[in-house]
Amino acid sequence: MAQIQDNGGGGHGKGDKKRAKKQSTHVDMTPMVDLAFLLLTFFVLTSTFSKPKVLRMIFPEKLDENVKDQKAPEVKDGITLLLTANDKIYYYRGSLKPNTELIPIDYTRTGLRKVLVDYNADMLVKLQDIQKRMNKLDDKDTAAKRKLDEEVLNVQKASKQIVLVKNDEGATYRNMIDVMDEFMITQIAKYYVIDEGMAKLEVDLIKKQGK
């Protein structure tokens, strides 16, 4: 489209004299800017920044079936957690007897966590003490820090608190992750998930409880 430029043109005579049209140097950038902002909005809304979090689990290598002399973890005073359907969870202390009483709990702070915190009280005190000393340390004092880290490991190794976890076919993956998470929170150092699941007696005891 032709445009009439009315912006004077120096001191030349106007009117009859034909002169080259002066092209405007301005480009209309509005569409480009519109597009830029559209893209900007798109990328801002679609990009995800938070990476998913992970809980690390280490499973022992499968035991050789040919070796007969395999020791099951000892449970003299240990806790056994029984995970079953409908988000129900039971526990008992010590070894399993026909008259063992299963105590029903839940996955909340007042249920499972309280049981584990009470059970692991000694170690929690020790770890908190180490943590306090750790906080007092200078950030640059790596040697002392490493020493304290080692101490934490030793405390964990010496821990006598053992928790066994067994599940039946009704337990969900969430139940297991919840239990693992509680172990992390309450600093249980030694826990075992039993591959075979519950024993026959335990299943029977749960059935009795359910009635």
Per-residue tokens: 36: 């830029």
For residue 8, state whether it binds other proteins (rule: CB under 8 A). Answer: no
Q: Give CA–CA dist 80/90, Å, rounded.
A: 8
For residue 130, state whether it binds other proteins (rule: CB under 8 A). Answer: no
Q: Give CA–CA dist 64/112, Å, rounded.
A: 34
Q: What phi and psi, each to the nearest 5 degrees, are found at residue 110? A: -85, -10
For residue 24, state whether it binds other proteins (rule: CB under 8 A). Answer: no
**Whether the Cβ atoms of residue 187 and residue 123 lie closer than 8 Å to each other:** yes
Q: Which of residues 72-91 bind other proteins (CB under 8 A)?
A: 83
DSSP assignment letter at 159: -
Give the range of 59-67, 73-81, 89-97, 150-158 binding other proteins by CB under 8 A: 59-67
Which residue in 4, 44, 67, 72 binds other proteins (CB under 8 A)?
44
For residue 171, state whether it binds other proteins (rule: CB under 8 A). Answer: yes
For residue 132, state whether it binds other proteins (rule: CB under 8 A). Answer: no
**Whether the Cβ atoms of residue 78 and residue 94 lie closer than 8 Å to each other:** yes
Give the range of 45-53, 70-78, 94-102, 130-138 binding other proteins by CB under 8 A: 45-53
Give the range of 3-11, 49-57, 92-100, 200-208 binding other proteins by CB under 8 A: 49-57
Residue 188 class from Cβ within 10 Å (0-12 exposed, 13-18 middle, 19+ buried)? buried
Which residue in 173, 200, 208, 211 binds other proteins (CB under 8 A)?
173
By CB under 8 A, the count of residues binding other proteins is 48
Find tokens 């509005």 and name the residue. Answer: 30
For residue 21, state whether it binds other proteins (rule: CB under 8 A). Answer: no
H/E run at residue 32: helix 30-46
Which residue in 14, 62, 157, 211 binds other proteins (CB under 8 A)?
62
Q: Give CA–CA dist 115/154, Å, rounded.
A: 24
Q: Which of residues 182-201 bind other proteins (CB under 8 A)?
A: 184-186, 195, 197
Nearer to other proteins, 5 or 172 (CB): 172
Which residue in 6, 61, 69, 138 binds other proteins (CB under 8 A)?
61
Find tokens 């004077």 and name the residue. Answer: 8
